[in-house]
Amino acid sequence: MNLKRFTRRLEECRERWHHNTIRYVLGVARIVRGARRAAKSERRWCHWIRNETHINRTTVYRYLRVAEFLGSNVSLRKHLDSMSIAKIYTLSRLKRHEAVSLITSGRAAKMNDVAFFRLAGRLLPKVITRPQRPNLCKSTQAALGRLERSIDRWEHSELTMPVALQMKLQSRLQAMSRSLEKIRRTSAAAM
């Protein structure tokens, strides 16, 4: 099955509507769902998205989520027309009753994007991630890099570090050193 016709439809959709409108998002979602059915395999569909659509795959999934949200909340459509796509996507990630409450009360439409995202951040369900070795290694390396740069800035500045801060940092570094030694011992015992 050739997916070129879906690529052409996407181009027409881009020409017809602005990228930040609900119509554009719904049009892209409709085309992408059709391409997914026509591709008959997730791998082929993802290959088409990567090579033909010039849309990030994460964005495609967000558009699909927004379309699903709008489809299940048709009665709220008039409230959502004036909102940005980013707000609607964030609303689609909230629990249904929270999203409906924010929409019908008018709070979501009145707030600027920054204030809305802060509020939604408190309402979004927290994602629990399991620590994995690559992620822990990267975050540790990043933290050490930031610490080294900060200490280097102190060292090369004309400012003096307050003694209280020096003592606090020294204490925390010693506690981290003890924790690191404990991790090393348990890792050695596990081998």
Q: Locate tokens 């802060």: which residue?
A: 118
For residues 28 and 19, give the distance between their C-alpha atoms in angstroms, rounded to a whole number.
10
Can you give the pLDDT at residue 171? 94
48-64 pLDDT, tens per residue?
888 888 888 888 898 89
Q: Are residues 21 and 59 in the same domain?
A: yes
Domain boundaries, position 149: 133-190
Which region holds residue 91: left if phi is over 0, alpha if psi is between -120 and 50, else beta? alpha
Q: Residue holding tokens 């881009």?
A: 14
Q: How far apart are CA 49 and CA 151, in angstroms?
A: 45
Asked if 12 contacts 53 with a C-beta cutoff of 8 angstroms, the reply is no
Whether 167 maps to a domain, the answer reads: yes
Same domain, 138 and 179: yes
Token digits of residue 175: 């506690």
- What is residue 87's predicted lDDT score, i.e. its pLDDT? 85
- Return the HEC string of 68-85: HHHHHCHHHHHHHCCCCH
DSSP 55: S
pLDDT of amino acid 92? 86
pLDDT score at 55: 83
pLDDT of residue 19: 66
Task: Look at residue 128 and tell me if it is in a domain.
Answer: no
Q: Are residues 45 and 92 in the same domain?
A: yes
Q: Which parts of the chain register pLDDT below 70? A: 1, 18-20, 191
In whole angstroms, what separates CA 116 from the centre of its chain? 15
| Alpha-carbon torsion, ordered 122, 127, 130, 133, to 10 deg | -70
Domain shared by 16 and 86, yes or no: yes
**What's the pTM value of the predicted model, to 2 decimals?**
0.60
Q: What is the pLDDT of residue 113?
A: 85
Distance CA 119, CA 124 (A): 9
In a domain, 62, yes or no: yes
Residue 143 shares a structural domain with residue 164 = yes
pLDDT tens-digit series, residues 158-174: 888 899 999 999 999 99
Give the chain's length: 191
DSSP for 98-133, please give it. HHHHHHHHSHHHHS-HHHHHHHHHHHSPPPP----H
Q: Which of 7, 13, 86, 9 is nearest to 49 (CA)?
A: 7
Residue 140 lies in a domain: yes
Is residue 184 one of the residues assigned to a domain?
yes
